[in-house]
Chain A
Amino acid sequence: MKLLVCIKQVPDLESRFKPNTEGSWFNEADLAWRMNEYDEYAVEQAVQLREQLGDSAELTVLSIGPDRVVEAIKKTLAMGADNAVHIQDPAAATKDPWQIASIIAAYAKDKGFDLIFTGMQSQDRGSAQVGVTIAELLGYSCATTLVGFAFDNGTVTAKRELEGGIKGVVKLKTPALVTCQLGLNIPRYPTLPNIMKAKRKEITALAVADLLTVEPLARTASFHSPAKKGGGIVLEGDVDNLVDQLIGILKDKTAVLR
């Protein structure tokens, strides 16, 4: 069985974001990068399935982006993926979800993947589109927002998370694509021996130009901070001082301290 998991590298979201010179996305200088949180769950689920299936299965990881994404790819190899594809694209951030999905579908279309895993959304772009669009382009059945996954005999039993904590249970036959939600599993930390083993695993580099054939369907006209609203107070400075200030406010504004 052939498995594919798609991962995106995103900036540390506690960073300060400033617009780039075109005002279309953030300036990437000085940011720290890591794997999209949702994709960690996708990788973990794919690795668990790879373990369940044994050596008859092969798990490939794919990421589109500049050279830095190789760091995130290496982590997935240390988590247990067999090999990886890096689609080299320094301008990935300026592509719309339709183009990203089209590139992945162009790569995957003649590879015969039985099951594809993606995150439900990326934390920086947050479109929740790429996974479903890949499935549509490949003609795969697709279920989104998984908080439960089981595979048996060519059939996936998936639990979709709905509003209010209700779940919807669905069954789908391979070839299929699933998008993974937070809490689907507990993603593992790579161990040192596995990090060493991962160094021998193959990462194939492909040029994006060979896979991209479509124009964008949407354009980012501007990237900016939210308009500041609400007259909230911001307290900063020495911690002891902050404690006293906050207690003063609690006394004045709330009934908590009588």
Chain B
Amino acid sequence: MTFLRNNWWKIIGVLILLYVIAGGLLFEAPQLPVIRETVRNIYFHVGMWFSMMFILFMSLFFSLRYLRYFRPDDDLKAATAVKTGLVFGTLGLLTGMIWAQNTWGSYWVNDPKLNGAAVGMLTYLAYMVLRGSVDEHDKKARLAAVYNIFAFVLFFVFIMILPRLSQGSIHPGIEGNPALSAGDLDPRMRKVFFPAIAGWMIMAWWLFRVYYRILRLRKNIDELNEND
């Protein structure tokens, strides 16, 4: 009973994703020209990408909170959230590449949206490099928190604003909010798509929490050893 009380949202997340896997691959989907069955990738690719955005937003929140109160835990949470976001970003890129291969005939095309996504992720990889290059903990935390704000803004410029301004992207959903606009998504797909977004976000949050607890434990053990 305690297990259920503590883990109900994780169980719900897993059940939702099991439904998404089954519904996403077996339910009826619109047969669009060229895209055909690959349209089902939207449940995975977009879901993972939204989860990445959610977890990167949380990282921004923790960084801002760190700059307000200077609590080391907030810095650790921000860094963990970026790492988790990068995992989901990589999964999103991989699912996107598989889709591109089956639709456009190439894993990567010279498209402003795709290039923007790659550069956006590099911006966050630079965050990790920055953290690794400073030894002093307070200085590292402050620098990383400020850079994280910069990275979040840049990321959205790269994936949302620049591809639209360039007007040369062939990526679906470039005109509006991808898959959320009324004309973007077939009504038959909504019963799987919206749960998919929720399921992937729950999974991302769960992964973030576990990873954070591991890093916090490691840090606490190190501190205990240092004080001995």
A and B found bound together: no
Interface residues of A (CB under 8 A from B): none
